[in-house]
Amino acid sequence: MTRIAFAFCAALAAPALAPALVPGLALAETPATEPDLQPLTLILDWYVNPDHAPIILAQELGYFRDAGLQVEIIPPADPSEPPKLVAAGQADLAVSYQPQLHLQVHEGLPLIRVGTLVATPLNCLMVDAGGPVQSLGDLKGKKIGYSVSGVESAVMVAMLGSVGLAAADVEMVNVNWSLTPALMTGQVDAVIGAFRNFELTQMRLAGGNGRCFYPEEAGLPAYDELIYVARPDFDPGPINRFLAATERATSYMINHPEEAYARFAATAPDLSDPLNAQAFLDTLPRFAHSPAALDHGRYARFEAFLHEAGLIGTPLPVADLARDPGAAP
């Protein structure tokens, strides 16, 4: 999975667990803990962007405070580190991805899903709408750009298999994080890992016209794109209150989309540009309405998919991967 580079790229130079450089969030300096509020540290998966709107708005609207929490929101110095920092006990929560969670738990990281942020896949295979790939079958003999191996390779194999093609029928090209530029310059014929709520708009704003083929319509089980992960020994009290606050923020966004976007965009200048404005609208219907709720079948099906793809060994029970923190043990 990937994201386009926002103007927050300077945050990558910050040390791990540095306070967020996001004006309006009161995080430029770590605030002193208020005695009547319980501190909770959350590390994002990427620079602040519309995917994080329920979190940012729960902070801005005082919903975390109402829930008795003082939440520190931290963009990562390295986007691959947040789950590892949580596993090491250096943060309470991290925003991560369901597909990565499966792999990380099988690798031995002590992590578990405790909530959902974005409840639908965002990843897609993006092509030039007027280019040579008009159907998945047209990928034979073509070059496909990618940024992250592993899960994305399995995604591509499943999508190819849905039209009778195999991995050997295409050439995979590592384009690092330059998915849209690689597609628009003809370096590749398609890219996997584009986020449908960002890269399609990015391509349009750059003068192109993209089209997405969706993994969940071409051989993959549906999954939660963005989730909250904690250590398996997490304290359910503050986690449940955190999720209740973000659920409240999501309801506010759904009921008052224009006001919600204005409040969100005011937290940093770059969030009010055309790309982020459209991304906010495109992401709005995809946020989890009940972030604590757990679909056991969804996690079992994706575990089986990864096993069939040869990426994991014996499938784990869902209880080893995900929990509803409010459910009885």
pTM more than 0.85? yes
* Average pLDDT of adjacent 10-residue blocks, the chain of 329 residues: 34 32 37 79 95 98 98 92 96 96 96 98 96 97 88 89 95 90 96 94 95 94 97 97 98 98 94 96 97 97 94 96 86
In a domain, 1, yes or no: no
Q: Are 114 and 40 in contact (CB under 8 A)?
A: no
Last residue of a domain, one of 182, 217, 252: 217
In a domain, 325, yes or no: no
Last residue of a domain, one of 217, 244, 266: 217
Last residue of a domain, one of 217, 251, 271: 217
In a domain, 275, yes or no: yes
The sign of the torsion formed by the CA atoms of 252, 255, 261, 262 equals negative
Same domain, 139 and 271: no
User: 302: domain range?
Assistant: 7-120+224-320
Q: What is the CATH number of the domain that holds 158?
A: 3.40.190.10
Number of domains in the chain: 2
Same domain, 116 and 241: yes
User: DSSP 3-state assignment of 227?
Assistant: strand
pLDDT score recorded for residue 307? 94
CA 298-246-12 angle, to 5 degrees, is 85
pLDDT score recorded for residue 16? 32
Q: Are 155 and 147 in contact (CB under 8 A)?
A: no
pLDDT score recorded for residue 176? 84
